[in-house]
Amino acid sequence: MFIGHWSAAFAAGASRKAPSLGVLAIAAQFVDIAFFAFAMAGIEHFRFVPGATASNWLMLDSAPWTHSLLGGAGFALLLAVPVWLVTRRPAAAGIAALVVLSHWLLDLLVHRPDLTLAGAPPMLGLGLWNLPLIEKPVELALTFGALALYVRRRRPRTLPVAVLALTLLAVQAIDWFGPRTTDAGPSASLTAIFAYLLIAALCQWVGRSALSGEKP
Task: Tell me how far apart the alpha carbons of residues 70 and 59 are, in angstroms, rounded to a whole number.
Answer: 20
Residue 58 bridge partners (DSSP): 48
pLDDT tens figures, 127-154: 999 999 999 999 999 999 999 999 999 9
**pLDDT tens per residue across span 162-196:** 999 999 999 999 999 999 999 999 999 999 999 99
- At 216, the pLDDT band (50, 70, 90 cuts) reads very low
Cα-flanking dihedrals φ and ψ of residue 47, to 5°? -135, 160
Residues whose CB falls within 8 Å of the CB of residue 110, separated by 6 or more in sequence, listed in order: 1, 55, 56, 125, 126, 127, 128, 129, 135, 139
Q: What is the distance between the alpha carbons of residues 46 and 103, in angstroms, rounded to a whole number?
A: 18
pTM for the structure as a whole: 0.94
- At residue 213 the predicted structure's pLDDT band, cuts being 50, 70 and 90, is very low
Query: Burial level of 182, CB count in 10 A (0-12/13-18/19+)?
Result: exposed
Answer whether residue 31 shows pLDDT above 60: yes
Q: Render pLDDT for 88-118 as a digit per residue (tens, 0 to 9).
A: 999 999 999 999 999 999 999 999 999 999 9
- Please state the domain extents for the chain: 3-212
In this prediction, residue 140 carries a pLDDT of: 97
How many other CB atoms are there within 10 angstroms of residue 162's CB atom? 11
Residue 34 has pLDDT above 70, yes or no: yes
